[in-house]
Structure 1
Amino acid sequence: MTKNRNLKLSNRPSQAFETRRPSDYLLRAAGSTAGQAYKSLAIERLGIEEGDAVLDLGCGTGGDLGPLLSSIGSTGSVIGVDVDATALEVAHEQYADPRLRLTVGDAHALELDSFSIDRVYVDRTMQHVAAATTVLDEVRRVLRPGGRVLLAEPDWRTLLIDHPEPDLSEAYRQFVVGQVIRNARIGSELPRLVQNADLELESVSPVTVTYTDAIDADRIFGFARVTHRAVKAGYLTPDQASRWLGHLEGPVFFASLTIFVTAARKAG
């Protein structure tokens, strides 16, 4: 792999990690081995039946639309909603299916009729929303009685990255939890939040995703980009950042993150 020479930290000549978030980030995440580790369980727990109307809330570039479309049969439908019109254009290019409708929308105020959806799939969207309780109220509103919602979200406090200087790993994790992710603890909060939204909690399954290749992990975590921000925010010095990234580029790497797959049902 050609090394990117755009980022220099404390006289570091070059480094292998990406310096800009790629446009195909969500498709990468969906197609990765780590992503598939929890996504297959999530689709299974959603319990889609032939003919169901399924909402993919925060569908992005459409990384999960294929499995959803494969589950609904010839009479079902999938609605993909996202705030990012550009991401939806990518999704539209990936799928030309009469059973699929893609629309720009706000998860806090869905332009969908009440009681119109059988299944709601939410994958790593709740960690970014402004008001999780409002989104869950909207999910409950659009679900038909007996309908199910599946939410797959990490708790970023579970992010573990091995490093010979553990304090650098901890500083990096604290920056991610405190500054990078809006709702960094949402994965472990959802069992409480769905019940507060008057949804019946069915199951919670923690799935720990592991990485032993730094380049593969970087395609998900963006080590260089986040480290630059951590330096600017004062969580790491430039010298610490160089040592941090230098070891991550080495021949031995390990990281893990736990994603909580939470299923809930609307009574009725």
Structure 2
Amino acid sequence: MTRETDRTTPRAPRPHEPTDGLIALLDAADQLPGAAELRALSYDLLGAAAGQAVVDVGCGAGRAVAELAAHGVRAVGVDPDGRMLAVARARWPEADYRRAGAYELPLRDASVDGYRADKVFHELARPERALAEARRVLRPGGRIVLVGQDWDAFVIDSDDPGLTRTLVHARADLTTAPRAARRYRNLLLDAHFAEPVVEVRTGVFTGPEMLPLLVGLAEGACSAGAVTRAEADGWIAGQRARAEADRLFLALPMFVAAATAP
């Protein structure tokens, strides 16, 4: 995932940055078992009816905006990455996409009925600022929904649990706010949203489709100097062998929080 400045502040494209790779990862995540159900849950928690307005912050390639629009919701997708928005517009040209970050939304005060942010808050250094902006654009009684993972909460079976813990924690430390998801409720309370609730939906994966994520964990930890090249390669080889033998196991909890604007 990109760092906080990538997802909150628009800037000129940089040719060397792997936007295509990120889009591919997001597309793959959207196709994982349970992903469609998780998105549907977030829409239900928004409670947006046809004709109501919703902003999807950090919309990426635009799938959620298009799905909400298909239900008659006036959805606006906001993302700081112009190349992401170009992909979104190419895929769903009828939808409304605008280039901006989470701290300064291009919306009037009290102009939307719902605010949704999926896999965004772990990239924000100042979540309180994003939530203040959410309160600004939400009408009284509007709904906010946050979706994301806790980067310290990967449950992975391996032959070396100690090394696995090191890999997970080292990769988490490369993220701006790796434990933002476990803070959703308290962040919403601090921002004076009413009646925050949190659900956890855990995906259990036993197939090779999660190998790229596991490889990314090990490579991130290696790049941070937390493990040696040999340790990372050995761990990756072990996970590949598990996948080939139908012995891979990864459990990944996803946190979904919802609250009401005062």
TM-score, normalising length: structure 1:
0.84
Q: In the alignment, which residue of structure 1 is the partner of 2:77?
A: 80
Q: In the alignment, which residue of structure 1 is the partner of 2:222?
A: 231
Does the alignment pair 1:127 with 2:122?
yes
- The 1-side partners of 2:220 and 2:168 are apart by 12
Cα drift, residue 22 of structure 1: 4.9
The letter of the residue matching 1:30 is D
Cα drift, residue 259 of structure 1: 1.2
- The 2-side partners of 1:131 and 1:256 are apart by 28
- The 2-side partners of 1:202 and 1:235 are apart by 37
Q: In the alignment, which residue of structure 1 is the partner of 2:133?
A: 138
The letter of the residue matching 1:218 is L
Which protein has the larger Cα radius of gyration, Structure 1 or Structure 2?
1
> Which structure 2 residues correspond to residues 99-138 of structure 1 after superposition, within 5 A?
100-138=95-133
- The 2-side partners of 1:237 and 1:202 are apart by 42
Q: In the alignment, which residue of structure 2 is the partner of 1:184?
A: 178
Cα drift, residue 32 of structure 1: 2.0
Q: How large is the Cα RMSD of the aligned pairs?
A: 1.6
Cα drift, residue 242 of structure 1: 1.7
**2:133 aligned counterpart, secondary structure:** helix
Aligned length: 239
Distance 1:218 1:40, change over 3 A: farther
**1:79 aligned counterpart, secondary structure:** strand
Extract unaligned runs of 5+ from structure 2: 1-19
- The 2-side partners of 1:137 and 1:175 are apart by 31
Q: In the alignment, which residue of structure 2 is the partner of 1:91?
A: 88
The letter of the residue matching 2:141 is G
Q: In the alignment, which residue of structure 1 is the partner of 2:168?
A: 173
**2:259 aligned counterpart, secondary structure:** strand
Does the alignment pair 1:218 with 2:211?
yes
Cα drift, residue 112 of structure 1: 1.0
Distance 1:28 1:65, change over 3 A: farther
**1:64 aligned counterpart, secondary structure:** helix
Extract unaligned runs of 5+ from structure 1: 1-19
Q: Which of 142, 145, 148 lines up with 2:143 in the alignment?
A: 148
Does the Cα contact within 8 Å between 1:155 and 1:185 map onto a contact in 2?
yes
> Which structure 2 residues correspond to residues 15-94 of structure 1 after superposition, within 5 A?
21-71=21-71, 73=72, 76-94=73-91
Does the Cα contact within 8 Å between 1:159 and 1:173 map onto a contact in 2?
yes
The letter of the residue matching 1:32 is L
Q: In the alignment, which residue of structure 1 is the partner of 2:4?
A: none
Distance 1:22 1:60, change over 3 A: closer
TM-score, normalising length: structure 2:
0.86
- The 1-side partners of 2:106 and 2:23 are apart by 27
Percentage identity across paired residues of the two chains:
27
Q: In the alignment, which residue of structure 1 is the partner of 2:13?
A: none
- The 1-side partners of 2:215 and 2:84 are apart by 23
Does the Cα contact within 8 Å between 2:148 and 2:181 map onto a contact in 1?
yes
Does the Cα contact within 8 Å between 1:34 and 1:210 map onto a contact in 2?
no
**1:249 aligned counterpart, secondary structure:** helix
